[in-house]
Amino acid sequence: MCGILGYSLNSNGEVFDQSIIESAINKIHHRGPDNTGFWFNKDRRIGLAHKRLSILDISDGGNQPMLNSNSNLAISFNGEIYNYKELKSKLIALGYSFNSSSDTEVLLCGYEAWGSDLFKSLEGMFAFAIYDLKKNKLLLVRDGAGEKPLFYSLVNKSIFFSSEIKALLDFHVIGKDIDISSLNHLFSRGYSSHTQSIFSNIFKLDAGNYLEYDVKTRKSQISKFWSLEQKIQESFSSKPSTNLNADYLITKLENLLESSIDKQLNADVPVGMLLSGGVDSSILVALAARSRNQLDTFTVKFADHAGYDESAHAKQIAEKFGCTHHEIEASSFHPSIFDELSEFYDDPIFDTSMIPTFLLAQSVSKHCKVAIGGDGGDELFGGYPHYNKLSSIHQKTKYVPFFLRKNIAAILNLFMPIGFKGKQTLSFYATDLLNHYPNIAEFYNFYDRKSIFNNKNINIKKIGLPLCAQNLEPLDIINRGTFLDFQNYLREDLLVKIDRASMANSLEIRSPFLDKSLIEFAFTEIPSSLKVSNGQRKILLKRLAKKVLPSNFDLQRKQGFSLPLKSLFQEPLWKEYFYNKTSDADPYIFNKKNIFKLINSLGATRNNEERVAGLIFFMCWVERFKPNF
């Protein structure tokens, strides 16, 4: 796991001094402290830089940027290719030889042999750049689930790219102008969109895509090499109905998951496992224990907050499967952690679980360089409570005209203050669930945003709801919901949280649930009735849990690495921090009077803790990056 950076400059622009490149790549030193490498073409208008976290082939032979044997291909690669051994065998059969045991060299030879067709064969999490000297083209590639980040900027016919935004900001031609649509998207949903970052000139390469940039013509083209939507469409036409044999599906799920875990445990450095004590991480430990005699497991412990402390459940699983268990105490930490985290979340998200995730990664990194996590289980198998709510509301409103629901909800909304209990459920009733997907965890609606910002200076826009996968009409409301959460919340929030929190501590976190075969299985073979039904969730996965976990394991619990916000935010230290941040905030941007009211609303009748935390975090981010509004 690493950090990558590079550029291709137009023929008229000034060539960058080496010190600028070094400064930029050092901004992401935390992603790869083991080695720093550079490669430039003859006129230095094309350059690649790399920060390496050594996981496979930890010798110098795995250092990057790496060239192929003919020196006509150069690569800077961030990630892990889990099927690199199978690909390597095929390449050896074609006559290729290898100088290292790294997956990076397999990517180079694979591209030389198969071109862009290689990308659809890859299993893993990855973001990489290949410069093809023969074709004079630069290719940027990102994995199908979007586990690894890749930002780029096209300015004055030049292209710049990096694993994180902060490195790009060292190239001053890019600028720091805020994208107003992204700002509204962030404050509405808690994260930015698929392709646009918070900055107007910096974009995200969408998951499952590759960008081809022609160095001669200065033109770029984005193509898709893997599409979950297409896989679902193909499943509709290739079989008359979904296999409803639960025993068959449980066995297939078990085999796919065990295979994924086995591949992801492969490393030349120690590998640990994150264990929250919930269903997903517990299943992963149970299956991993089949092929590993000794596992190290890690959990967060909130000793001072019993309602959030799952350490006893995690310990039960660790003892059952003979793991060496580590508990990280996180009851007490200073609110200035918001300032610290703003450095790493340079494309901000509003997710307070980044704090325990960061603290966990900080401790785990002292023991190992790689850890296995359970991300993706809720989206693939129907784990969120809102799926039950959506299903219920969909049934109740079938015969109630949409315009009537919408108008009644709009009137009631006028009298319900921000964070008022039931306000979010009301928005579900006001959504045309056949065509749109509601904003499941809305932070600030249009009127709320107008209240907290100085809207004389900040353009507050309305944000439309996502369309309900119009090309996937046969999907019912549950499978539509899981699909859209996979495409949005998982990719733009959860995976961002995991990547930045772990890489800030030079730790690689792998997610076996996000194996390509498992994703396709979950969305093309498992019926919604085995995901969510009659108030139950994650039905198929819990049946597997019942098979592999202890008989006294509580399958109904749902608790991730989350924070006891209500009690924390009542503490004088936190209130003082929030007041001070708001007092120091820029009045050109923020309406401080209304923000103070919002802070004062924290209490039993309002659910504003996440909203306030997101807003304060954004203030810290503005202080650090000083964007142009």
Q: How far apart are the first and last CA of the chain?
A: 34
* pLDDT the model gives residue 626: 97
CA dist 355 and 362 (Å) reads 11
Kindly tell me if the per-residue pLDDT of 432 is higher than 80: no
* pLDDT the model gives residue 234: 87
* pLDDT the model gives residue 297: 94
Q: Please, which pLDDT band fits residue 414 given cuts at 50, 70 and 90?
A: low
* pLDDT the model gives residue 24: 96
Note the pLDDT tens digit of each residue in 538-586: 999 999 999 999 998 888 765 556 677 888 888 899 999 999 999 999 9
CA dist 294 and 164 (Å) reads 35
Q: Which two tokens stand for residue 203?
A: 């974009």
Q: Which two tokens stand for residue 88?
A: 């390597």
Q: Which two tokens stand for residue 581?
A: 């941040």
Kindly tell me if the per-residue pLDDT of 410 is higher than 70: no
* pLDDT the model gives residue 307: 60
The single residue listed with the structure tokens 């109905």 is 241
Note the pLDDT tens digit of each residue in 266-293: 999 999 999 988 899 999 999 999 988 8
Task: Give me the mean pLDDT over the 67-92 stretch.
Answer: 96
Inter-residue contact 144 to 208 (CB < 8 Å): yes
* pLDDT the model gives residue 309: 65
Inter-residue contact 99 to 77 (CB < 8 Å): no
Bridging pattern class, strands 271-274 and 370-372: parallel
* pLDDT the model gives residue 53: 95
Which residues have CB under 8 Å from 198's CB, separation 6+? 165, 178, 179, 182, 183, 186, 192, 347, 348, 627
CA angle 137–142–144, rounded 5-degree value:
135
* pLDDT the model gives residue 14: 78
Which residues have CB under 8 Å from 531's CB, separation 6+? 381, 382, 387, 478, 479, 482, 537, 538, 539, 540
For 171-290, where are the E strands, in sequence order? Answer: 203-204, 209-214, 220-224, 271-274
Q: Which two tokens stand for residue 365?
A: 């990194």
Q: Please, which pLDDT band fits residue 604 given cuts at 50, 70 and 90?
A: low
Note the pLDDT tens digit of each residue in 119-157: 999 999 999 999 999 999 999 999 999 999 999 999 999
Kindly tell me if the per-residue pLDDT of 223 is higher than 60: yes
* pLDDT the model gives residue 468: 64
- 440 CB neighbour count, 10 Å cutoff: 21
Kindly tell me if the per-residue pLDDT of 412 is higher than 60: yes
CA dist 629 and 626 (Å) reads 9
Kindly tell me if the per-residue pLDDT of 265 is higher than 90: yes
CA atoms within 13 A on the CB side of 362: 13
Note the pLDDT tens digit of each residue in 493-522: 999 999 999 999 999 999 999 999 999 999
Kindly tell me if the per-residue pLDDT of 65 is higher than 90: yes
Inter-residue contact 192 to 124 (CB < 8 Å): no
Exposed, middle or buried by CB within 10 Å (0-12, 13-18, 19+), for 307? Answer: exposed
Q: Please, which pLDDT band fits residue 26 given cuts at 50, 70 and 90?
A: very high
Task: Give me the mean pLDDT over the 46-55 stretch.
Answer: 95
Kindly tell me if the per-residue pLDDT of 240 is higher than 60: no
Q: Residue 478, SS3?
A: helix
Q: Residue 51, SS3?
A: strand
* pLDDT the model gives residue 428: 72
Q: Please, which pLDDT band fits residue 355 given cuts at 50, 70 and 90?
A: very high
CA dist 228 and 519 (Å) reads 8
Q: Which two tokens stand for residue 62?
A: 């795995």
Buried b (16+ CB within 10 A) or exposed e, 101-110: bbbbbbbbbb
Kindly tell me if the per-residue pLDDT of 401 is higher than 60: yes
CA angle 66–71–74, rounded 5-degree value:
40
Q: Please, which pLDDT band fits residue 530 given cuts at 50, 70 and 90?
A: very high
* pLDDT the model gives residue 413: 64
* Local structure of residue 490 (DSSP, 8 states): I
Taking alpha carbons only, the member of 62, 157, 125, 105 closest to residue 516 is 125
* pLDDT the model gives residue 556: 74
Instruction: For residue 587, say if its preceding peptide bond is cis, omega within 30 degrees of 0.
Output: no
C-alpha gyration radius of the chain: 24
- Give kind and range of the element (H or E) at residue 279: helix 279-288
Of 347-356, 417-426, 459-468, give the lowest mean pLDDT range. Answer: 417-426
Taking alpha carbons only, the member of 282, 139, 275 closest to residue 214 is 139
Note the pLDDT tens digit of each residue in 307-338: 666 778 888 899 999 999 998 887 678 999 99
Note the pLDDT tens digit of each residue in 451-502: 999 989 999 998 877 766 666 766 788 988 899 999 999 999 999 999 999 9
Inter-residue contact 457 to 450 (CB < 8 Å): no
Inter-residue contact 337 to 330 (CB < 8 Å): no
Over the chain, what is the mean pLDDT? 90
